[in-house]
Structure 1
Amino acid sequence: MEILAKAKNLWMKFNVRGAILTSLSLQVLLIFLAPIRKRCSNKWFMMLIWLAYLGADLVANYAFGLISRAQFIGSTSDSEADAYGDILAFWAPFLLLHLGGPDTITAFALEDNELWRRHLLNLLFQLGAAGYVFYQSFPSSELVVPTILMFIGGTIKYVERTIALYLASFSKLRDSLLPPADAGPNYAKLVAEEYVSTKMLAMVPESKLPSTDVELENSLDDRTVIKEAFFYFTTFKGLLVNLIFSFRERNDSSQFFGSRPAKDAFRVIEAELNFFYDVLYTKAAIVHCLAGYLFRAISIGSIVSAFASFCVLNKHGFHEFDIQITYTLLLGAIGLEFVAVGRLICSDWTIANVATSESIFIRLLLKFKSESSPFALHIIHARWSKFIFQYNFLDSRLTKWPKWIAKPLGLIPLEELIDDLKPRRVEQYSEELGELIFEELKRKASCGSTNETCASRGKWALEHTENWEKCKKLLPFVSDVDYGKSLLLWHIATELCYNTDKSENPHRKTSKILSDYMLHLMIKQPSMMSAVAGIGQIRFRDTCAEADRFFDENIFDKSKTSKTNACRILLNVPTALNPALVKGDRSQSALFDACILAKELRKFQDEKWEIVSEVWVELLAYAAIRCQPYMHAQQLSEGGELITFVWLLMVQLGLSEQFHIQDGHVTATVH
């Protein structure tokens, strides 16, 4: 029994040490890897961050329990046990520091912000636990001063995290952004004193967007990009909680963005979304203020002072291994703090808040963060992944496992699982694609009413083409069908045209990228499309079933058949009759309707790619402006999405219904 007791005691000692060092390791992992998630969409990397985020809290809480238990068991008069208890009391505040987490991540997902009450309760509980551990060793402790100093630093870090979660919760964020109550002019008094003639009231007409025909020649420098992004972030951060804005704010942003080239507009949008990310997922909002700087200085000073006081302390009686662990914890804490300070100094927030760029420091900082920096530095400071995920209907059917293999083995669900686990096909965002989207949105912003352009999902693009009379036959494919069917029709038609037309038209490639991207959103990220897609997934499954049957009957070996050949076989099917008349409404398949659309598009020769690309931009814009801001915000922590950039760009150009028609009060004519 004595041997078992010693073995148990030995396990407890090494268990505590292992938990403490694991907790520190997770903090190091998070501070360096967490910022990468806003520009990386790799599922396995996101899994690693998720495990580290959850594990950091679990390990720290577990270590707290081990320390409390070891203190209780080891409370004897033995000098070695007392020394061990003292060192445990000194380690406890390090766990508070770790529970506070790095500045680079406070929430893994938006739901974590809504759990701020749980973190507040945990903060109070762990402060009590740390205080109890300190009280247990206080009478004999030689580490009182460094322990108190670490306790101060750890408490500040944990309080910072809790406040950051609280401020980023949507209810609090909305409350903080609501404008003050405004009763307006004293209507009763004005009417009673006969200052206003009600017959002469003139309502303020809907203001028209300023002309966006003129573009400034000079490209924006990096500092101006960040300054403008911060200004519009401050103006429009209420977008996250569905607040309404005035036409004056709309006109200001649309005038700025409408007068810039596409590259500058997307650079500003990219930096603006980075500010949104920082507010929702990091400590940036509470660190970048006077109180935040003050408490950060106190925290760093406490940790450095604790290190200095431990260095000069007489360590006689402490185990050598425990001393090494303590130095590791202290140096780790100091290192993490200085990395955080370095990130704070180099952040966009610092540049945005600096009044002038004449100082050498600001010039060097901007050069370090610029796109002209070496590739490695550009990767470090990139603000989104620039990945456009692709999902192709024909690829999914031609690479499908044969039924004679899948059915006997029951592999149909397994095939879907494997398809989800496979690396997603991506295309890199290009300036040509950005320019196409920007110019089309700017063209819509410069004419027509906001409600009409926001409600259009292809019709506006067809009606404003040069060859409008010929395009009338294409209207039923956007106006007479729901959005989900329209998307599937144009995706399959784009694929059929793309594989049977080898022209060098630049819109051919961009049409293909947007087509595959929109299908990816509908199939792989339906939450982004829930407001517009309707039964899109049901229709997709029915279309897949019809395509599988058709290819099984007409193609012997799909794995050896090129997409070009498959497209030609599809286009050779007679389509004189409407598929709905032949098949009825039992199936929602859109396969042969898409073939009819493709044949109509082929009549336009090379001109069709301008038409197709404009329709795809409008389909993308329609989905972007109707997707809930919450879903856009969620994507910021997963590498970012093109649809989110389009959403914010549309708002900045005035293509949103979140604007008042009037600003101020009713205009009145005075007698």
Structure 2
Amino acid sequence: MWLAYLVANLVATYAFLLIAKVQINGGTSDCEVNAHGDLLAFWAPFLLLHLGGPDTITAFAREDNELWPRHLLNLLFQLGTACYVFYQSLPNNKLVVPTILVFIGGTIKYIERTLALYLASFSKFRGSLLSSVNAPLDNDAPNNESRDAGEQNKTDLDERVVIKEAFFCFTTFKGLLVELPISLRQMNKSREFFSGITAKDAFRVIEAELNFFYDVLYTKAAVVHCPIGYLFRATSVGSIFITFALFYVLNKHGFHEYDIRITYTLLLGAVGLESVALSMLFCSDRTVAKMKTSEKHCRSLFKGSIFIKCLHKFKSESSPFALHVLHARWSRSIFQYNLIDSRLKRWPKWIEKLLSLISLGQWVDDLKSGRGEKYRDELGELIFDQLKRKKSAAGDWEKLMEICVARGEWALAHTITRQDCQRLLPFVRDVEYDESLLLWHVATDLCYYTNADPHTEESRKDRENSKVLSDYMLHLMIKQPDMMSAVAEFGDIRFRCTCDEMDNVLSNFDGSKTNITKKNACKSLISVDPEAQLELKDKDTIRSVLSSARVLAARLQNIEKEKRWKIMSEVWVELLGYAAAHCRPSEHARQLSRGGELVTLVYLLMAQLGLYDISKKSKIPLKTKAGGLSVLICSDCTMSKVSFSTHSSCSISIVLIIRMF
């Protein structure tokens, strides 16, 4: 797909030049030259039409949006080349009108693509939101979306309500992608809604919200879903259909049969693509959201509309098409990577050296050790319930900041006894984040493979959720380090040290290492005194965590089985939330083009519930002017305690911000 995306412009340029060359060389007779030249000129604007691309992809990656000037230059070059080809066919062109119509449609499509890239670029997207930078200070601003009272108390929200609420959240929280502050009033509205719905519905709303984010960054949605966009789309579609009709009734005497077939192929392809684009426009989530929002104002227009009824039926969960619509919003895959598996499944050393020489080591390792788990509703319930409990426990801003920066301490303090908490706290409080993640990852494996299944269904769910989150977090740290760069500075080095020690331990087993089962390896590793001396004191040294992880696993083994997995699952949710809140927003946005990540859903869910990490020092300056005085305000501060005082004589509002570092 990436190759096709990159070479599209090159292929079009080559085709344009080839057409121009054939026009110059001519044919064997005047009749053939004129007829063939007319068709060549007619074919040229079809290249513009297809270079405009489908509505569903304008950028393959986030960086493509920053290259919009290059696409603008390509547009001018391709348009100029097409005009030259058309000029070569004048003045006796029999297809002047159809060619001009395709020119109009193709130019509109290409302009739409270039404009979409421009609007999705970081500076433009951020600039379009800066007009509302004072929103966090204006807590009395009217709500820009009407929300259905009482809808959040339903146990199973209608799909139309899900889309509408997702669109509201998107318009409210889209500033998160460019690190802008969020209005306290809107955040409170969102928190109130999410606090009253189930975990399943909460994740449905977040998935639909991610779909809106994807549309803005990687599709033509921002261009098409506006009055001018609707006019452009009507003009483009109309020109293509009229062109097909004109060519169908045209007297084709003098045209070669083979050329006629090529022309019909181009026309049918264009008509088919435009029909699909038009149907996707009508059935898009944004269209449903706008209709749902305007329904109270235009009830008489919507009442009895066959189209609206069919569209709502299509979007409902009872529709056979709904499964595709719902599940296509993100990949619903949770990629897994396991430390012990990666060591047990190693290739012989000579093969590893060969793969490293040809730079295929990482790729083969991904194929061998990487895997994916499907997202389950039980995991969503675990995450959502803990986040809601955190929000309920946050009585003031200081408490909220303390909860936001927790990475296991809060879960331990609210789940187990004080004595057990003190025995486990050093493994989250006295170590760096990446070290804590590796400690709990190894300990989770040791407990998972050395204990029998829990007796209760809830404990079995906690056990499976702990395992899934453990392998997922290691996948993020090792395979997607950009998403963890803010919190796992030396994670890769510490992981390699742990792998080396693991290899040494496995090499001491009797027999070949290839015959060692993971269960046997874990049973051998966990046989350690739970009161053994910890090696967590020297923070200046990056070392293996295997020894400390064995102590952690042994201490977890001393806790009651049913409670043990509850502790571990909640610690993993907190580690996941910490990573989600501290990942750069640009990385969350970049992952949308790759199918989406669970950590991004958790990031948005935390923001909706008000667990936005206001302690992060992003230091995004927001400039406000008051009577000629410019004041720079940190975006983080605008969400914390701010007091206002007005000078009685000059009416200048002075924002007093007090921060303790």
Residue 427 of structure 1 aligns to a residue whose secondary structure is strand
- Are residue 494 (structure 1) and residue 444 (structure 2) matched? yes
Q: Which residue of 1 aligns with 2:25?
A: 73
Q: How do 1:171-182 residues align onto structure 2 when only pairs under 5 Å count? A: 171-179=123-131
% same residue:
62
Q: How do 1:111-126 residues align onto structure 2 when only pairs under 5 Å count? A: 111-126=63-78
Distance (Å, rounded) in 1 between the aligned partners of 2:500 and 2:431: 21
Distance (Å, rounded) in 1 between the aligned partners of 2:134 and 2:490: 44
- Are residue 599 (structure 1) and residue 551 (structure 2) matched? no
Q: Which residue of 2 aligns with 1:560?
A: 515
Distance (Å, rounded) in 2 between the aligned partners of 1:410 and 1:234: 47
Shift of the 555–526 alpha-carbon distance from structure 1 to 2, 3 Å rule, reads farther
Report how far residue 468 of structure 1 moved. 2.9
Distance (Å, rounded) in 1 between the aligned partners of 2:574 and 2:509: 35
Q: Which residue of 2 aligns with 1:616?
A: 572
| Among candidates 102, 108, 112, match of residue 156 of structure 1 | 108
Shift of the 136–241 alpha-carbon distance from structure 1 to 2, 3 Å rule, reads same
Shift of the 517–233 alpha-carbon distance from structure 1 to 2, 3 Å rule, reads same
Distance (Å, rounded) in 2 between the aligned partners of 1:121 and 1:415: 40
Q: Which residue of 1 aligns with 2:424?
A: 474
Q: Which residue of 1 aligns with 2:464?
A: 509
Q: Could you tell which deviates more after superposition, 122-131 or 364-373?
A: 364-373
- Are residue 652 (structure 1) and residue 608 (structure 2) matched? yes
Report how far residue 421 of structure 1 moved. 4.1
Do the aligned partners of 1:369 and 1:378 also contact (CA within 8 Å) in 2? no
Shift of the 119–170 alpha-carbon distance from structure 1 to 2, 3 Å rule, reads same
| Among candidates 565, 581, 598, match of residue 625 of structure 1 | 581
Amino acid at match of 2:607: V
Distance (Å, rounded) in 1 between the aligned partners of 2:323 and 2:425: 48
Question: Structure 1 unaligned runs (5+)?
Answer: 1-48, 186-213
State the Cα deviation string for residues 347-399 of structure 1 (Å, max 9, x = none). 10111011337544333223323333337852686211111111111111111
Q: Which residue of 2 aligns with 1:63?
A: 15
TM-score by length of 1: 0.83
Do the aligned partners of 1:370 and 1:378 also contact (CA within 8 Å) in 2? no
State the Cα deviation string for residues 228-255 of structure 1 (Å, max 9, x = none). 1101101111111111122212211111
Residue 51 of structure 1 aligns to a residue whose secondary structure is helix
Q: How do 1:510-549 residues align onto structure 2 when only pairs under 5 Å count? A: 510-549=465-504
Q: Which residue of 1 aligns with 2:653?
A: none
Shift of the 68–665 alpha-carbon distance from structure 1 to 2, 3 Å rule, reads farther
Q: Which residue of 2 aligns with 1:21?
A: none
Q: Which residue of 2 aligns with 1:396?
A: 342
Q: Which residue of 2 aligns with 1:316?
A: 253
Amino acid at match of 1:239: L
Shift of the 583–291 alpha-carbon distance from structure 1 to 2, 3 Å rule, reads closer
Report how far residue 605 of structure 1 moved. 2.3
Distance (Å, rounded) in 2 between the aligned partners of 1:343 and 1:165: 20
| Among candidates 201, 207, 229, match of residue 270 of structure 1 | 207
Q: Which residue of 2 aligns with 1:640?
A: 596
Residue 180 of structure 2 aligns to a residue whose secondary structure is coil
Shift of the 410–64 alpha-carbon distance from structure 1 to 2, 3 Å rule, reads closer
Shift of the 537–117 alpha-carbon distance from structure 1 to 2, 3 Å rule, reads same
- Are residue 454 (structure 1) and residue 409 (structure 2) matched? no
State the Cα deviation string for residues 239-281 of structure 1 (Å, max 9, x = none). 1111112221221111111111111111111111100000111
State the Cα deviation string for residues 468-500 of structure 1 (Å, max 9, x = none). 332111111001000000000000000000101
Do the aligned partners of 2:56 and 2:219 also contact (CA within 8 Å) in 1? yes
Instruction: State how many pairs are aligned.
Output: 595
Q: How do 1:341-490 residues align onto structure 2 when only pairs under 5 Å count? A: 341-354=278-291, 355-356=294-295, 359-374=305-320, 378=324, 382-403=328-349, 414-422=360-368, 424-448=370-394, 449-490=399-440
Q: Which residue of 2 aligns with 1:197?
A: none
Report how far residue 416 of structure 1 moved. 3.7
Q: Which residue of 2 aligns with 1:191?
A: none
Q: Could you tell which deviates more after superposition, 65-74 or 435-444?
A: 65-74
Residue 532 of structure 1 aligns to a residue whose secondary structure is coil
Distance (Å, rounded) in 2 between the aligned partners of 1:411 and 1:147: 55
Shift of the 166–232 alpha-carbon distance from structure 1 to 2, 3 Å rule, reads same
Do the aligned partners of 1:478 and 1:486 also contact (CA within 8 Å) in 2? yes
CA RMSD in angstroms comes to 2.8
Report how far residue 56 of structure 1 moved. 2.9
Distance (Å, rounded) in 1 between the aligned partners of 2:523 and 2:415: 28
Q: Which residue of 2 aligns with 1:102?
A: 54
Residue 334 of structure 2 aligns to a residue whose secondary structure is strand
State the Cα deviation string for residues 384-420 of structure 1 (Å, max 9, x = none). 1111111111111111124476569988965543113
Q: Which residue of 1 aligns with 2:656?
A: none
Amino acid at match of 1:452: E
Q: Could you tell which deviates more after superposition, 51-60 or 160-169?
A: 51-60
Do the aligned partners of 2:182 and 2:639 also contact (CA within 8 Å) in 1? no
Q: Which residue of 1 aligns with 2:620?
A: none
Shift of the 415–175 alpha-carbon distance from structure 1 to 2, 3 Å rule, reads closer
Distance (Å, rounded) in 2 between the aligned partners of 1:477 and 1:507: 20
Report how far residue 555 of structure 1 moved. 4.1
Report how far residue 300 of structure 1 moved. 1.1
Do the aligned partners of 1:487 and 1:619 also contact (CA within 8 Å) in 2? yes
| Among candidates 247, 269, 272, match of residue 335 of structure 1 | 272
Report how far residue 170 of structure 1 moved. 0.9
Residue 666 of structure 1 aligns to a residue whose secondary structure is strand
Q: Which residue of 2 aligns with 1:54?
A: 6
Do the aligned partners of 2:160 and 2:315 also contact (CA within 8 Å) in 1? no
Residue 94 of structure 2 aligns to a residue whose secondary structure is coil
Distance (Å, rounded) in 2 between the aligned partners of 1:132 and 1:406: 56
Distance (Å, rounded) in 2 between the aligned partners of 1:371 and 1:422: 37
Distance (Å, rounded) in 2 between the aligned partners of 1:181 and 1:352: 25
Amino acid at match of 2:547: F
| Larger relative contact order (CA 8 Å, sep ≥ 6) | 1
Report how far residue 578 of structure 1 moved. 3.2
Q: Could you tell which deviates more after superposition, 411-420 or 389-398?
A: 411-420
**More helix per residue:** 1
Report how far residue 306 of structure 1 moved. 1.3
Distance (Å, rounded) in 2 between the aligned partners of 1:147 and 1:184: 52
State the Cα deviation string for residues 400-451 of structure 1 (Å, max 9, x = none). 1244765699889655431134584111111110000001111111223222
Q: Which residue of 1 aligns with 2:99?
A: 147
Do the aligned partners of 1:170 and 1:241 also contact (CA within 8 Å) in 2? yes
Distance (Å, rounded) in 2 between the aligned partners of 1:55 and 1:642: 32
Do the aligned partners of 2:330 and 2:596 also contact (CA within 8 Å) in 1? yes
Shift of the 182–564 alpha-carbon distance from structure 1 to 2, 3 Å rule, reads closer
Amino acid at match of 1:544: C
Do the aligned partners of 2:316 and 2:322 also contact (CA within 8 Å) in 1? no
Do the aligned partners of 2:191 and 2:608 also contact (CA within 8 Å) in 1? yes
Shift of the 305–380 alpha-carbon distance from structure 1 to 2, 3 Å rule, reads farther
Do the aligned partners of 2:191 and 2:610 also contact (CA within 8 Å) in 1? yes
Residue 372 of structure 2 aligns to a residue whose secondary structure is strand
Question: Structure 2 unaligned runs (5+)?
Answer: 138-150, 296-301, 615-635, 649-661
Amino acid at match of 2:378: E
Distance (Å, rounded) in 2 between the aligned partners of 1:326 and 1:273: 40
Residue 485 of structure 2 aligns to a residue whose secondary structure is helix
Distance (Å, rounded) in 2 between the aligned partners of 1:582 and 1:657: 28
Distance (Å, rounded) in 1 between the aligned partners of 2:506 and 2:234: 68
